[in-house]
A and B are shown apart, each in its own frame.
Chain A
Amino acid sequence: MAAAAVETVALEHLPATHTVLLALYRNVANASFLQEQLLSRNADFEYAFVDASTVVSRFQLLSAVYKAVSAEMAGAMRTPNVHSEMVVSLSSNNNISEAYRRYGVQPATKDVVVVKVLISREGSPSSLTPEDVEKHLETHVQGDSVACSDEELAKVTDWPKLRKYHKLNGLPWIEAIKDEEAKKKELEMLIVSAMAMRGT
């Protein structure tokens, strides 16, 4: 077992009041339980449970996290909370329920990225600590905790699905790139750009 299942990520340009926590679980056995907690709005499960097959890299994932937190700070969220906003921010179109379906945890999801942001407001510091979150996830997520690294994320990325979701098929210049890594970098940037454009 890895020493620390939950990683605290320092994101540039976020105020110190916001702490972003990240975890990746492989072979999750109770995805439907996790989804049910979200659907029933169980307050103990204020998480973004992301289908890891729709994640390309930390950069792409954190772009969505950053976009969601920015919307939260600006009071411009389009979904109930900052965590659902993260899931929707992975999408490049405005259909919210479709985004939950595509990027959020589903009963059949095998690998799950968990994101949690702790927010301290004036006079009410966040009541949770990263340790609390780690303990809670350890108890309720039945899966193998691995580092949420680019290497681990790349293992589970479903490229054909992502290319369909972000309408990235039929671009001849992309197909002409022979180096697989270079091609993926280009696709990653196109996905990040498309995510940035969503909602504008």
Chain B
Amino acid sequence: MATPEPVAAIQPPPPPADATHEFPLPPILQRSASTAELITQGAEGRLYRTTWLAPDRFCALKHRPSKPYRHPTLDARLTRHRILSEARILQKCRREGVAVPALYGIDESQGVLSMEWVPGRPVRVEVNEYLQRRSGKYPGRARDSVARDEEGAAPLVGLMRRVGEAVGKLHKAGIVHGDLTTSNMMVRPWERNKKTGPINGSHQEDDDDTEHSLEGEIVVIDFGLASQGSADEDRAVDLYVLERAFGSTHPRAESLFPVVLEAYKDTFKAASVVLKKLEDVRMRGRKRSMLG
């Protein structure tokens, strides 16, 4: 009589050896000695600050890691599709003269997109610091909305205008951003002694100690949710999302949002239809349908 083979006890899976395994670096960053700093992490990807080709040229490297819960074939196709879509949109913006990061390299099989590093800080940070300085200077106004004609408001009004122009140019180029917040716009300091001409990523260091101002060119970043299209509805949603971003992140600056819309109108010919749609969107919110 045969005795049944002893069955090995079921073992729980071994715990991950190292916590860093949870966030694998893309191969391009594993094989190099140069440093990569994790800047931000979203649901879909991670953004690193590293260097490109030469140690003095900084780049933003976006990595979309593969998702273990997806079927490998589907995973590869989705990653590829999203990386390429973002790259194409950056390239299109660039050709049309919209200020966006230049594309340095694509490796869709690794899920990696490398772009020019945009120096400066997000509009969100600049605006908030402006509002803080204002509270310090005029404690009486700390809780009031910024008025267009109040003393010292000119730099903020100027910034709002440039934001509106940037969005207008983007829409004119046939691109809808999909996540237009004040965090996804950078204020890139003007090149020294010059009010025109962007700085091309290289030779730029973080200048945390120097004085910051609202002066600079608006550079729209993160086209991960962007799409090519000319639907006025989608454009209106872009504006609505931006308006809400001002309302929630900088409520005291929301009073100046009409400046953004005016500049948008001056930059983009088809703006009036979009602004009309914006009123509808305001009434019902971002989602067109209340179902699902």
- Closest approach, in angstroms, between the C-beta of B17 and any C-beta of chain A? 24
Are B94 and A193 closer than 8 Å at their CB atoms?
yes
- Name the interface size band of chain B: 35 or more
Are B91 and A194 closer than 8 Å at their CB atoms?
yes
A72 to B168, CA, bound (A): 42
A194 to B94, CA, bound (A): 10
Are B53 and A193 closer than 8 Å at their CB atoms?
no
A118 to B57, CA, bound (A): 24
Q: What total of A-B pairs shows CB separation below 8 Å?
A: 86
Residues from 68 to 109 in B contacting A, C-beta threshold 8 Å: 84, 87-88, 90-91, 94-97, 102-109
Are A196 and B116 closer than 8 Å at their CB atoms?
no
- Closest approach, in angstroms, between the C-beta of B88 and any C-beta of chain A? 7
- A24-49 interface mask toward B, CB cutoff 8 Å, 1 = contact, 0 = none? 00000000000000000000000000
> A165 on the interface (CB 8 Å rule)?
no
Are A63 and B91 closer than 8 Å at their CB atoms?
no
Of A13, A171, A200, the contact of B34 (CB 8 Å cutoff)? A13
Of B53, B54, B87, B107, the contact of A197 (CB 8 Å cutoff)? B87
A179 to B200, CA, bound (A): 14
Are B197 and A13 closer than 8 Å at their CB atoms?
no
Are A197 and B106 closer than 8 Å at their CB atoms?
yes
Name which of B24-32, B156-164, B206-214 contacts chain A: B24-32
Are A15 and B31 closer than 8 Å at their CB atoms?
yes
Give 6 closest A-B pairs by Cβ, nearest first.
Answer: A173-B97, A182-B197, A193-B103, A189-B102, A13-B32, A15-B31
Q: Show 6 A/B contacts (Cβ-Cβ < 8 Å), sorted by A.
A: A11-B53, A12-B54, A59-B53, A63-B105, A185-B197, A200-B84
